Amino acid sequence: MLKFRKSRWSRPTGASPETQFTETTPSEKVSLQPGQYEIEAEAPGYQKFTTTVNVAKEDVTVSLHLKQLADFEFEDPKQIAHEGQWLKSKTPGKFISLRPSLLSTNLVFERPGGRTFPWEKKKVEWTIENAAHSARVQYSLEGQSEKLTRRLVVGQDASNQKEGKVDTLIGSQKDSISLHIRVEGGHVKIVNDKETVIDDFNAPGQDFSNGRISIRTESHFVVREQ
């Protein structure tokens, strides 16, 4: 959202000191009377940007420099710790939830167990849950076997279980895995970096549109909104 109003130094004598902002879009061209204007720009996940511009007879272009809010992707940023470019759960056995409705995302994990311990006994887990917390699609990816397990859990009942070996490595890298998750309604599609389908599932009778993705891992990870 982009807003502007005439600066108090440029308002006509007698004008209200509480002149309201006018909203517009970043791509819209607006005709303004000469003077100085206050500009505000806001976008979800970014700090508010403010500046002033002097308008004369020539066209003026305003460059927006938006700074991303740290850890905006998470419902509770206090659950995570930063280690270089990686993130890590402060409580490895607990699920970390992404903010609601962030349902198109890329999860990158350091291979479970790291480089010094065998990781075949380790796994990464993630769930896609509806807004009412009454149903979820539950996934786990085991270590060196790269076995993916998926099941639908509604209340206490589990169904639609699927198991199979998948390829989640990032190109020729052997120390990271990547999952691109896309959720639309009750449809969950997961692909790897090569766009090869890992899972394509329509959850019967479910709608995850306003739900959330949660992850649980002892590994380092990164979340990238798509």
Q: Among 110-119, 148-157, 161-170, which stretch is predicted with the lowest mean pLDDT?
A: 110-119
Average pLDDT over residues 81-91: 92
Phi, psi dihedrals of residue 112, rounded to the nearest 5°: -50, 130
Rounded to whole angstroms, the Cα distance separating 8 from 216 reads 52
- Are the C-beta atoms of 107 and 96 separated by less than 8 Å? no
Over the stretch 120-155, which tens digit does the pLDDT of each residue have? 457 899 999 999 999 999 999 986 678 999 999 999
Domains and CATH numbers, the chain: 2-55 (no CATH), 77-225 (2.60.120.200)
Determine what percent of the chain is predicted with pLDDT higher than 90: 45
For residue 77, give the 3-state DSSP assignment: helix
Predicted confidence (pLDDT) per residue in 23-60, tens digit: 888 778 888 888 888 888 887 767 788 888 888 878 88
Q: Residue 109: is its pLDDT beyond 70?
A: yes
How many H-runs (helices) and E-runs (strands) does the chain carry?
Answer: 0, 17
Rounded-to-integer distance, Cα 92 and Cα 103, Å = 22
Determine the Cα–Cα distance for residues 209 and 160; give it in Å rounded to an integer.
20
d(CA 150, CA 153): 10
Query: C-alpha distances in angstroms, 203 versus 18, 129, 139, 165, 184?
Result: 52, 11, 13, 21, 11
- Alpha-carbon span 180 to 159, nearest angstrom: 23
Q: For residues 154 and 135, is the Cβ–Cβ distance under 8 A?
A: yes
Residues whose CB falls within 8 Å of the CB of residue 58, separated by 6 or more in sequence, listed in order:
none
Averaged confidence pLDDT in the chain = 85
Q: 171 versus 77: which is more confidently predicted? A: 77
Q: CA distances (Å), 160 to each of 33, 100, 103, 134, 137, in order?
A: 63, 24, 21, 16, 9
